[in-house]
Structure 1
Amino acid sequence: MRTKQSKANREARAAGKARQVRSSALGKLIIMLAVVAAIVFGVAIFFKVNTIEIQGNTVYSADQIIEASQIQQGDNLLTVNKALAVGNIKAALPYVEDVSIARSLPDGIIIQVRESVVSFAVMTDTNACWLVGPSGKALERIEPAAFNENPHINGLLISTPTEGEAVSSPTPTALAAALDVMKELDGTGLLEHIRVIDVEKEYDMSIWYDERYEIKLGGTDELAYKIRYLCSILDQLSEFQAGTIDLTQAAQKRATFQPAA
């Protein structure tokens, strides 16, 4: 009888311990869920977008960029889709070349943009006129009569473009030559001074710097070196000088300057 009672007691104690273990595990799970819920609630309540700062903009206003991003005050700061916002800005604002978005805890968003501040007028094969940025992106359509009033590209026709997208041309080699010239000039401080890029003859290209210098580049061979050479030459010339700079033999480390008459 005692044996049976002892066995029953052992079983009862074992069952009690099992219940305690289950109860303890359930309690820990409930605590973990409560902590997670508190964190989620805290994120939702405290990490909301309150300020949106725009940096680097000169073409578009801060309000235009914020509206294009579709980020709004009150959005959850930690779940803002930065890639989507970047795409929204580039799609809506063609002058924007690059965008970066950063979170600034506890409640800020910083949007840094780089815009095309230089553009060149280019005629289309249907006699329309567009402004094109250094990257080859169509920025906006303008009146053909304004072609010569803007920095422009001679010897190139483009196909009718879509605003904000890369242009194409029935003469792709001429387009490639023009883009190469702009690419090498971009970032040197010279592009802002270029009035004309002439690619009518891709082997005999030239550019006009302000109203002072005609610069003969020849072909696109050694173009990066020619532009570096040009920077060095311009540093040595007086701001009162004008004339023709011939870089067609720059590969042989030869360049000539012919003063204007």
Structure 2
Amino acid sequence: MNEPHWISAVFSPTGGTAAVAKAVTGGMGQVVDLSHPVPETPVPDNAVLLAAAPVFGGRIPAVALERLAALKGSGPAVVLAVYGNRAWEDALLELKDALTAGGFQVVAAAAFVAQHSIAPTIAQGRPDSADLEQAAAFGRAVLDKLAGPDSLSPVSVPGNVPYKDWKGVPFHPAAGESCISCAVCAARCPVGAIPTGQPNQTDPDRCITCMRCVSVCPRGARTIPAPALQATTAMLEEKAGTPRQPELFL
């Protein structure tokens, strides 16, 4: 494969996934933002598609997979799952299967840790400089593989089929009294769960608790209900308190 270049398709509601993806590619190439609907986009065979998404309950958010399907091609691809230090379970396999079904040849995969989007005391400050250095080294290793004799050999990743059953978390961010109805959250919500005319509301049937609205609110007016946050944090402190390291598959 001659002079490959990166095309990154990234779903990153709170920025952790985007930070790791940028490190993998060295900030090079085109970025397709999966937080918005994506028109059908051809990916040339001399490009390397990096598909990057966060892990929600051991799975890839359905909206990310739906928008990723708009990218069409048959060349090499890399899958990247970013999780909040608990477990990534079937996420890499789900991403790999989705791209393989779309015609891509998945040659590498990686799972990285980022600060938990709901409980920010878990994996606080991740990805850190060491994570980003490993991500950059992984990106270079991918390009080295593509320059070698087994450039398109498929990667094997752990996971189970059927994938883990995940119905989402039973709570959603809510606006507090400090909300000034600026509607930044409504404009940035990846799934249209916040009405533009009533940005202090949340549609529970659409909301995927991705936490973007919490992260972008200029007044910190959107939060998870305190009892749910406390219970989630306590559970994660027990199950995800020990820092985990990146896992790479080539």
TM interval, short-chain normalised: under 0.3
The structure whose residues are more often strand, as a share, is: 1
Q: Which one has a bigger Cα radius of gyration?
A: 1
TM-score by length of 1: 0.25
For normalisation by structure 2, the TM-score amounts to 0.26
Higher relative contact order (CA 8 A, sep 6+): 2
> Which structure shows the bigger proportion of residues in helix conformation?
1
